[in-house]
Amino acid sequence: MNICINGFKGRMGNAIAEAAADSGHTITGKVDIGDDLKAALSASDVVIDFSFHTVTRSVFETAAELGKPVICGTTGHTQADRAELLKIAEAMPTVWAGNYSIGVNLLCYLTEKAAEILPLSYNAEITEMHHRMKKDAPSGTALMLAESVLGPRNLSYDDLQHGREGVPGERGEREVGMHSLRGGDVVGDHSVIFADIGERIELTHKASSRAIFARGAVRAADWVMEKKPGVYSIRDVLGLT
């Protein structure tokens, strides 16, 4: 398989190139700001995009024009932007996820099951920590976890509480706490806590290498090549649906 990497100079670019080489694939495009994505993607079978949220539209539009599949791991989009981008992504086989790790997606699956089983009295709190250079907050993975809590509990993004300060009052049962920490070189730590009177359940994943995300992205690229146009999740790739 010939792979075009968009965002090659970013933290994930080299990791994806190494994972692709380990899987016997060829990198036919190394694209970053100012490079010609269309030319690189024309010579490739698929594009893997780990870049910046402001260029996602151009990546999707170029892939749609050329009829090429997309693996997107870029985060930081507003809900309105994401809704518009999903419409474009339906034109070609697209896997779009905030995290491509097998462990993280298992965490999302377990979180969803816990949210289905536990009553609202088990208050849900989500924490995430990343390196000091990360630009967006909360992380895409934290938002995946939030969706795993909100859906089964019939809640919405309006029920998310991003941090607390001052005297916010007592915590409501519908509230889902979201807390972002930044510092050092942390690759990615995520936890979901369900706390009731007398006990709490904690589900945690800690990443120590970006290779786990890169391997997942390459695995998704292998999987998506035989799929019809449409938007898929990494849980589709892993069979966790």
Active-site positions? Answer: 130, 134
Q: For residue 116, give every residue at least 6 positions away whose Cβ sits within 8 Å of its Cβ, in sequence order, or none.
A: 152
Q: How distant, in Å, are the alpha carbons of 31, 94, 158, 166 from that of 37? A: 6, 17, 37, 48
Tokens at residue 33, please? 């700001």
User: What is the SS3 string spanning the chain?
Assistant: CEEEEECCCCCCHHHHHHHHHHCCCEEEEEECCCCCHHHHHHCCCEEEECCCHHHHHHHHHHHHHHCCCEEECCCCCCHHHHHHHHHHHCCCEEEECCCCCHHHHHHHHHHHHHHHHCCCCCEEEEEEEECCCCCCCCCHHHHHHHHHHHCCCCCCHHHEEECCCCCCCCCCCCCEEEEEEECCCCCEEEEEEEEECCEEEEEEEEECCCHHHHHHHHHHHHHHCCCCCEEECHHHHHCCC
Taking the CA of residue 225 as centre, how many other CA atoms within 13 Å lie in the half-sphere pointing to its CB?
14
